[in-house]
Each structure stands twice: as structure tokens, then as C-alpha cells.
């Protein structure tokens, strides 16, 4: 390679990467051909993120990279240097579930559960960006994750319920919300 | 489980280094933008680069801003970045509607403007895993000799499935291509070729760096209509991009009409000339739609039946032109109603 200067050549078959996963700094060595999904599940032991179609046709592998929902099956892990990756394992704080997890459980928004981590992460990103999303916003945000069990209605209702719960639990309570 | 094959990975920080690496890699090298097209294709061994050169960290490729009477949009802007720009939404409606309807919000957070312009052509006999393709002894687009869609054909008929290219052609956009030795620009129409295998005029050592979009003059408007089976995920099976310049209450001074997903490149409908000098009466719109829809000669290599796709072309063209006339999208059927609700959600 004739190019040099500020370049990070990774011609070897394995790549070493520093990133943050669920707030923790992580250094990981992995086969360069691996996607973020493969590294999360196989090298970091985080199997909450599900392996679906492998081709970007189902959304089951959704994680948040720098707060945006993306498909970890299509993102080479080598691309994630310095990124902050959030997975479903990072939602709960100790024994305390995230409000979106509580409402999914309360309202039956999970049946087989395979799409649930992706739905949770997508909904979490939506609520962080749009604290009071309309039903249309929720439908559009979740349109990148397929669910073959619930018919989506319970999922939409769970996202709306989580939004209310977050608002009621925030300083200042429910006043001024909406 | 499908995994990518082995490759050497490079993450250059400057365009100059990226150009040098691409040239050095020769035919073994491929550029990686958002990865939403290349990575699945690598898993299915449709593409088997030995060297992958990532553009993610190359400085300057996400820049956007005015440049004289044009807007420069960096090729590495994600489709979400693009649709979040108020000026794109307000001024370049066809591009906004095209970008906002690509795949899903998740894929738009990854996929880029440049990547969508360079999207591999698609075909039911090509977009399959390695074992499936091997079972039919492959096709001429990758590793085989025959076109299974048209077995007597000498050429590949895989379909251009980019949403943004038809929109950008209708808007009169250009692309900038960089090499180690310099830069050239050419119209998006000239960037595309009608061949399923060699579907771009990009030279192997060139990197698409920017899209140059004219700032619309008063009276200019555009739209993009997309047909697909589902309201998300799916590639277009047919699309229509339309642009006109028409002073308020006046007659059309200029018009462009582009059909997507009907050939290996977006197809410019010369029938749009029939709109010039008119007030877009129903008779004119129907005559132009009838003539332009003859360009849609679908082959049996994507979703939906052939006959229905051909009929749908006239419907989409008519609808797009009525929208540009100023008709309320709520009166123009489900495709227009859904498109009217498009909003940037990251």
C-alpha cells in the first residue's frame, strides 16, 4: 500500500477495536470479516441482540450506535472504532427495568420475543429523540423491525404507555408534558 | 449462518489516501459506504472483494452546503441526514421523497446518498444466496454465462433499483468523481448505463464524492412516486420522478419525467416535452402518461406480475403530474396519501 499518513491499515486478518458498549469501555480482538452482530454475540457474549435474516430484511439485530438504531448484521464491526453501542442488555439499571421493558411486559407486546430486543432499542431511541411521539411517528420508527406475532398494536400501545410512564416519573411529573 | 468472506480492511482518513488505496487495490478493491448493499452481497458471495476500503472516516464526505447556484451534498451523508435537512425537504421534494422511502428508518440511518446512487442492480436470479445461484449454474451477472430472465439475451437485464437516481436526474443533478489525479463532474443521467452488469460509467479508480444539485428557481417543483409491495423495506418495482418549471397560474416552461426500476438504468421519458406550453389539463396529463408508460417494458425478474406493473406505470405518471399541477395529495390515492405523511424520524 503506497498510501500513508493518518491511515489505519488493517491488512491483518484480525482487528483490535476500542469502543463503548452499554457505557463501558471495551477492547475486543476479532476476525475482520465479522459484523457488529457477530462480535457482540460471539466475542462479547451479548446474545440479547438477535440474529435474524442476516440481510437487512427483518430488523431483529437492531442496536443503537451513537444513539441511532442500525442493523448490526450489516455493519462491519471494524467500522465501529470509538462508537458507543447500546444493546438490550444495557436497558435495565440493575434490577430496575427500563419503562419500555415494563410496558412491553405489562401489555403483552412480546409473544415469541425474537423481535423484542430490536423493538425495545428502536422504541428507546425514538423516545429519547421525540419525547412525545404520535402514533404515526411510532409506526414509522418501528417500520424497520418485523414482528410476526403481535400484529403490532400491543407494541404501539406499549411505546405510548412507556412515554406516559417516563413523563410521569420525570422531575416535574406530568405537568407540561405532551 | 452466512458470513462475509475474508478481506483486507482499510479505513483511510483523507480522500487522497482513499483514492490511492483504491487505485492500488485494482480490481480486487471495493468501496464501502453505508454497507447496506455491499455487506449482504458479500455474505451471498455476489461480491467478493479482497480489499474493502471504507469511506466512513474520510474527511469532508459528509459536508453539505451552498456552492453558487447549487447545493453540494456529500456522498457519505446518510439518507437520514439528508431527509433531516429542512432545505432538502422544502426545495428538492423529489429527492426528499425518494430518500425518505428507501427501505426502513434503520437502513436509512446507515445507507448513504452515494451508496444509493451506486446501488447494485437487482434480479430475482441474482439476489439469492450462493447455494441457490449455484443450483442453477449461476447467471451472467456473477459467475455464470446465461441470463435466466431472457435466456437468448447477450446482456444482463438486472434492474436499477435506486430511488435517488431517478429523482436526481429529474432535478438536473450532477455527481463529482475523484481520483488520485483530480476530479470530474457529470450529469447523474450520464453516470448510469443500461447494462445490468456495468450499470455505472464510474471508472474503477473513481470515488463518488458529492452530488451537485441546482437550487430551484421560483416556479420549479418536483415529486417522486414509488411502487412496492410493502410500505417499508422493499426496493421499488417502479418509480416516477417528475420536475416542472411553471410560473404561478402560468404555462409549463420546462419539464422532466424519469422512470425508475424499468431498466438497468433510470429511463428519461422524452414525452415530458408534451407538457411544455400547457396548463397541465387532464387531457395533456393522460396523453403524456400514455406515451411515457410505453417505456416501461418490465421483465419477469422482480416482484408483482408483468402486466400489472406495466399498467401501474400509467397510474403513477398520471398521479405524479397531477400532484405537480397542484392537486391535493389526499385525492390522489393511497401512494400519494402515504407519501404526504413522510416525516424524518431518525
| B109-145 pLDDT tens trace | 999 999 999 999 999 999 999 999 999 999 999 999 9
The reported pLDDT for the residue numbered B338 is: 84
The reported pLDDT for the residue numbered A177 is: 40
Q: Does domain A99-169 have CATH number 1.10.150.120?
A: yes
Confidence band of A12 (pLDDT split at 50, 70, 90) = low
The reported pLDDT for the residue numbered A9 is: 46
- Name the residue among A10, A31, A81 with its Cβ closest to that of B10: A10
Residues A1-14, mean pLDDT to the nearest whole number:
52
Tell me whether residue B196 is in a domain: no
Separation CA B10–CA B44 (nearest Å): 22
Query: Is there a single domain that holds both residue B96 and residue B170?
Result: yes
pLDDT surpassing 70 at residue A175:
no
* Final residue before a domain boundary, out of B59, B77, B92: B59
Homologous superfamily of the A14-90 domain (CATH): Beta-grasp domain (3.10.20.30)
Measured between beta carbons, the chain B residues lying within 8 angstroms of A1 are 10, 20-21, 24
Query: Is there a single domain that holds both residue B141 and residue B113?
Result: no
Domain count, chain B: 4
* Final residue before a domain boundary, out of B14, B37, B59: B59
Separation CA B151–CA B153 (nearest Å): 5
Tell me whether residue B346 is in a domain: no
Query: Is there a single domain that holds both residue B318 and residue B306?
Result: yes
- In sequence order, which ranges of chain B are alpha helices (DSSP H)? 15-25, 38-43, 79-83, 86-91, 93-100, 105-110, 113-117, 130-135, 164-170, 188-191, 282-293, 306-325, 334-340
Query: Is there a single domain that holds both residue B75 and residue B97?
Result: yes
The reported pLDDT for the residue numbered B342 is: 81
The reported pLDDT for the residue numbered B341 is: 80
Q: Which of B9, B79, B342 to mutate to test the interface with A (most CBs of A within 10 A)?
A: B9
Query: Is there a single domain that holds both residue B256 and residue B269?
Result: yes
Predicted confidence (pLDDT) per residue in A147-159, tens digit? 999 999 999 999 9
Query: Is there a single domain that holds both residue B151 and residue B292?
Result: no
The reported pLDDT for the residue numbered A173 is: 60
Query: Which of A 83-122 lie inside 8 A of B, CB atoms?
Result: 122
Query: Is there a single domain that holds both residue B178 and residue B234?
Result: no
Query: Is there a single domain that holds both residue B299 and residue B178?
Result: no
Separation CA B160–CA B195 (nearest Å): 9
- Name the residue among B9, B16, B232 with its Cβ closest to that of A78: B9
Query: Is there a single domain that holds both residue B237 and residue B282?
Result: yes
pLDDT surpassing 90 at residue A99:
yes
Query: Is there a single domain that holds both residue B169 and residue B131?
Result: no
Per-residue pLDDT of chain B (346 residues; tens, 9 = 90+): 899 999 999 999 999 999 999 999 999 999 999 999 999 999 999 999 999 999 999 999 999 999 999 999 999 999 999 999 999 999 999 999 999 999 999 999 999 999 999 999 999 999 999 999 999 999 999 999 999 999 999 999 999 999 999 999 999 999 999 999 999 999 999 999 999 999 999 999 999 999 999 999 999 999 999 999 999 999 999 999 999 999 998 999 999 999 999 999 999 999 999 999 999 999 999 999 999 999 998 888 999 988 899 899 999 999 999 999 999 999 999 888 888 888 654 4
Tell me whether residue B21 is in a domain: yes
Query: Is there a single domain that holds both residue B48 and residue B81?
Result: no
Which strands form B64-67's sheet, in the order they lie side by side?
A: B64-67, B70-74, B207-214, B174-179, B182-187
Q: Which residue of A has its CA nearest to B180?
A: A3
pLDDT surpassing 70 at residue A89:
yes
Confidence band of A4 (pLDDT split at 50, 70, 90) = very low
Per-chain mean pLDDT for chain B? 96
CATH number for position B97: 3.30.465.10
Query: Is there a single domain that holds both residue B247 and residue B285?
Result: yes
A2 touches chain B (CB under 8 A): yes
Burial of B146 (0-12, 13-18, 19+ CB in 10 A): middle
Measured between beta carbons, the chain A residues lying within 8 angstroms of B15 are none
Tell me whether residue B194 is in a domain: no
Tell me whether residue B44 is in a domain: yes
Predicted confidence (pLDDT) per residue in A101-129, tens digit? 999 999 999 999 999 999 999 999 999 99
Confidence band of A43 (pLDDT split at 50, 70, 90) = very high
Query: Which of A 5-34 lie inside 8 A of B, CB atoms?
Result: 5-11, 13, 15, 31-34
Measured between beta carbons, the chain A residues lying within 8 angstroms of B337 are none
Residue B45 belongs to what domain range?
A: 6-59
Q: Would you kindly state where each structural domain of chain A is located, as residue ranges?
A: 14-90, 99-169
Amino acid at each position: 500500500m503506497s498510501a500513508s499518513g493518518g491511515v489505519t491499515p488493517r491488512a491483518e486478518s484480525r482487528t483490535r477495536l476500542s469502543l463503548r458498549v452499554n457505557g463501558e469501555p471495551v477492547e475486543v480482538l476479532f476476525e475482520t470479516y465479522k459484523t457488529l452482530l457477530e462480535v457482540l454475540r460471539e466475542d462479547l457474549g451479548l446474545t440479547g441482540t438477535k440474529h435474524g435474516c442476516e440481510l437487512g430484511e427483518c430488523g431483529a439485530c437492531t442496536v443503537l450506535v451513537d444513539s441511532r438504531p442500525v442493523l448490526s448484521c450489516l455493519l462491519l464491526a471494524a467500522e465501529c472504532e470509538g462508537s458507543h453501542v447500546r444493546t438490550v442488555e444495557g436497558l435495565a439499571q440493575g434490577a430496575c427495568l427500563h419503562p419500555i421493558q415494563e410496558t412491553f411486559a405489562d401489555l403483552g407486546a412480546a409473544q415469541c420475543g425474537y423481535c423484542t430486543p430490536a423493538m425495545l432499542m428502536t422504541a428507546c431511541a425514538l423516545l429519547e429523540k421525540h419525547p412525545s411521539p404520535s402514533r404515526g411517528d411510532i409506526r414509522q420508527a418501528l417500520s424497520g423491525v418485523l414482528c410476526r406475532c403481535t400484529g403490532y398494536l400491543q407494541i404501539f400501545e406499549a411505546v405510548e404507555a412507556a412515554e406516559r410512564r417516563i413523563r410521569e416519573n420525570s422531575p416535574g411529573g406530568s405537568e407540561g408534558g405532551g | 449462518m452466512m458470513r462475509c468472506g475474508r478481506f483486507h480492511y482499510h479505513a483511510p482518513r483523507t480522500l487522497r489516501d482513499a483514492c490511492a488505496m483504491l487505485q492500488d487495490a485494482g480490481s480486487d478493491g471495493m468501496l464501502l459506504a453505508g454497507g447496506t448493499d455491499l455487506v449482504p452481497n458479500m455474505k451471498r458471495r455476489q461480491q467478493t472483494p479482497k480489499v474493502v476500503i471504507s469511506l466512513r472516516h474520510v474527511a469532508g464526505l459528509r459536508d453539505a452546503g451552498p456552492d453558487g447556484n447549487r447545493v453540494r451534498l456529500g456522498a457519505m451523508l446518510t439518507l437520514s441526514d439528508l431527509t433531516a435537512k429542512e432545505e432538502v425537504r422544502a426545495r428538492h421534494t423529489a429527492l426528499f421523497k425518494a430518500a425518505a422511502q428507501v427501505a426502513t428508518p434503520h437502513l436509512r440511518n446507515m445507507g448513504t446518498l452515494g451508496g444509493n446512487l451506486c446501488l447494485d442492480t437487482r434480479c430475482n436470479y441474482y439476489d439469492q444466496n450462493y447455494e441457490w445461484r449455484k443450483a442453477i449454474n449461476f447467471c451472467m451477472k456473477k459467475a455464470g454465462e446465461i441470463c435466466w430472465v431472457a435466456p437468448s439475451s447477450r446482456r444482463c437485464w438486472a434492474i436499477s433499483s435506486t430511488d435517488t437516481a431517478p429523482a436526481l436526474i429529474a432535478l438536473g443533478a450532477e455527481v463529482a468523481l475523484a481520483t488520485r489525479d483530480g476530479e470530474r463532474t457529470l450529469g447523474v443521467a450520464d453516470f448510469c448505463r443500461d447494462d445490468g452488469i456495468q450499470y455505472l460509467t464510474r471508472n474503477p479508480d473513481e470515488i463518488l464524492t458529492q452530488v451537485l444539485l441546482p437550487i430551484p428557481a421560483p416556479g420549479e417543483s418536483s415529486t417522486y412516486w414509488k411502487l412496492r409491495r410493502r410500505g417499508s423495506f422493499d426496493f421499488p418495482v417502479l418509480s416516477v420522478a417528475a420536475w416542472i418549471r411553471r410560473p404561478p397560474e402560468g404555462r409549463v416552461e420546462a419539464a422532466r419525467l424519469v422512470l425508475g426500476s424499468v431498466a438497468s438504468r433510470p429511463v428519461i421519458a422524452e414525452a415530458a416535452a408534451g407538457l411544455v406550453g400547457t396548463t397541465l389539463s387532464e387531457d395533456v396529463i393522460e396523453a403524456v402518461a400514455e406515451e411515457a408508460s410505453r417505456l416501461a417494458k418490465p421483465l419477469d425478474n422482480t416482484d408483482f406480475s408483468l402486466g400489472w406493473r406495466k399498467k401501474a406505470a400509467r397510474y403513477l405518471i398520471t398521479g405524479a403530474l397531477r400532484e405537480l399541477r397542484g392537486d391535493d395529495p389526499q385525492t390522489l390515492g393511497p401512494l400519494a396519501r402515504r407519501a404526504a405523511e413522510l416525516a424524518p424520524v431518525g
